[in-house]
Amino acid sequence: MTSTAIEQRTALQRNLTTDSSVASSASVSPIDSPRQSPSSTSLSSMASEAETKPKPKSKMLDTYGNEFELPDYTIKDIRDAIPPHCYERSAIKGLYYVGRDCALMATTFYIFHNYVTPETVPYMPLRVVLWTLYTVLQGLFGTGLWVLAHECGHQAFSTSKVLNDTVGWICHSFLLVPYFSWKISHGKHHKATGNISRDMVFVPKTREQYASAIGKAAHELSELMEETPFLTATNLVLQQLFGWPMYLLTNVTGHNNHERHPEGRGKGKRNGYFGGVNHFDPNSPLYESKDAHLIVLSDLGLLLMGCVLYYIGSNFGWVNLLVWYGLPYLWVNHWLVAITYLQHTDPTLPHYEPEVWNFTRGAAATIDRDFGWVGRHLFHGIIETHVLHHYVSTIPFYHADEASEAIKKVMGKHYRSEAHTGPLGFFKALWTSCRVCQWVEPTEGAEGESKGVLFYRNRNGLGVPPAKIPPPSS
């Protein structure tokens, strides 16, 4: 079995998916020429083999039309393949990287505050350009600090839980993230990745949910007109600007099955404004009673940071605060949403009904990408080694590359990666996923266990068409 995920692409437009005469090219836009799934043969070879081999009773086809196979290894196989030293955590290394990222932010502020002034740069348009650059740089450095706090939340920062949570609480509070509240819900995401009923992050809409959201019936989706690119762009901008705070405030992309909360605190509560589901209320159904003090401690961190920001705005000007902190904060939000969204949203990735899901399958329903030097050195590899992270989240980022290479040998064709597309491919994937990945449903004609394996479909004429569902009889 091969350990690389992508070797070639097959055409995505629905009128070309089975045309073997269409040349594949990794350099073409994914919407025009998507990649070959690592878990399938080419569609043309499948067609030629169909004459000599009996057709399976039930296929599972991803959005590209490639046949999907369920992972056939265990979590023990994954753990045993990883070299023992990859599990080692160093507080000294962790603190070094925190210090480095904080130094980058402080130095950047010092340089711009002292040398990008009306006295040193009298031409105002140039100052605007330079201060815009400042916000971008601080957004990159702030995202790196966010990732290190993320390491703390997974106890991958050091062997000391107290040190991990102290550093994580300070760093996340500085970035207006409720550390313990996020840590708890994020841990539940890792325990149920890919589970359509239990996952906590970027749970896709089912066919029925998507149809309801646009005021249509489920059977009408395959007949609707294409969504305009303008609407796609609008949705993408809103997601990138407001996705993170909306998630914290309303759990907008998490599951909405709160009634089953074991303590009963989810009764009558739903995602959305004033639905009682958020990351700030100790009584939220995202948590249990034992977590209440941690939620309060998270809120206290935000309150203290809010006081610091109020002091800066009152004494140094609110416009200065916007430039110094507010705009970089929005950049951090942008990167956080983009990274998380693309880790769990791709035309090749399945989602599972609860009865079909297990941890090994769910952890494989993620994808690695590449963001070049920024991804490796400023974002600490969170984009490039996410598949490994879902199998063993306590491995620190500086061992993640080696551990990733080790598990590829076990995962084989089940390992997903878009690393070959580089940083430009990362941005292209945002557009592709918004156009292609609109809701999930089983492959048409699926039977048995296959009915519980869901793949992305869309109304834009891209990839495998939605299943034909007859309207209900009157």
As given in the structure block, the two tokens for residue 472 are 């209900």
Q: Is residue 332 part of a domain?
A: yes
Amino acid at 278: N
Q: Is residue 447 part of a domain?
A: yes
**In a 10 Å sphere around its CB, with 0-12 CB exposed, 13-18 middle and 19+ buried, how is residue 262 labelled?**
exposed
As given in the structure block, the two tokens for residue 188 are 């539940």
Contact in structure between 14 and 463 (CB atoms under 8 Å): yes
Q: Is residue 334 part of a domain?
A: yes
pLDDT of residue 474: 56
Query: Mean per-residue pLDDT for 445-454?
Result: 93
**In a 10 Å sphere around its CB, with 0-12 CB exposed, 13-18 middle and 19+ buried, how is residue 423 labelled?**
middle
Q: How far is it, in rounded angstroms, from Cα 442 to Cα 455?
A: 6
Beta-carbon count within 10 A of 266 CB: 19
Q: Is residue 109 part of a domain?
A: yes
Q: Tell me which of 237 and 25 has the higher pLDDT.
A: 237
pLDDT at 261 over 80: yes
Beta-carbon count within 10 A of 460 CB: 20
Q: Give residue 426's domain range.
A: 80-242+297-457
* Residue 259's pLDDT band (cuts 50, 70, 90): confident
CA-based R_g, the chain, Å: 23
Contact in structure between 148 and 101 (CB atoms under 8 Å): yes
What per-residue string of b and e applies to 18-36 under the rule 16 or more CB within 10 Å gives b? eeeebeeeeeeebbebbbb
- What's the whole-number average pLDDT of the chain? 88
pLDDT of residue 225: 86
As given in the structure block, the two tokens for residue 461 are 């004429």
pLDDT of residue 340: 96
Cα–Cα nearest to 439, from 158, 111, 218, 167:
218
* Residue 202's pLDDT band (cuts 50, 70, 90): confident
pLDDT of residue 27: 34
End-to-end Cα, the chain, rounded Å: 52
Q: How far is it, in rounded angstroms, from Cα 440 to Cα 442?
A: 7
The domain tally of the chain equals 1
* Helix or strand holding residue 455 (H, E): strand 453-457
User: For the segment 10-20, what is each residue's pLDDT rounded down to a tens digit?
Assistant: 445 543 333 33
* Residue 298's pLDDT band (cuts 50, 70, 90): very high
* Helix or strand holding residue 193 (H, E): none
pLDDT at 25 over 60: no
pLDDT of residue 13: 52
Q: Is residue 469 part of a domain?
A: no
pTM here? 0.86
Q: Is residue 224 part of a domain?
A: yes
As given in the structure block, the two tokens for residue 145 are 């600090």
Query: Mean per-residue pLDDT for 366-392?
Result: 97
Q: Is residue 451 part of a domain?
A: yes
Q: Is residue 18 part of a domain?
A: no
What length does the chain have?
A: 474
Query: Mean per-residue pLDDT for 88-109?
Result: 98
Sheet holding 453-457, edge to edge: 351-352, 453-457, 439-442
As given in the structure block, the two tokens for residue 267 are 């009764």
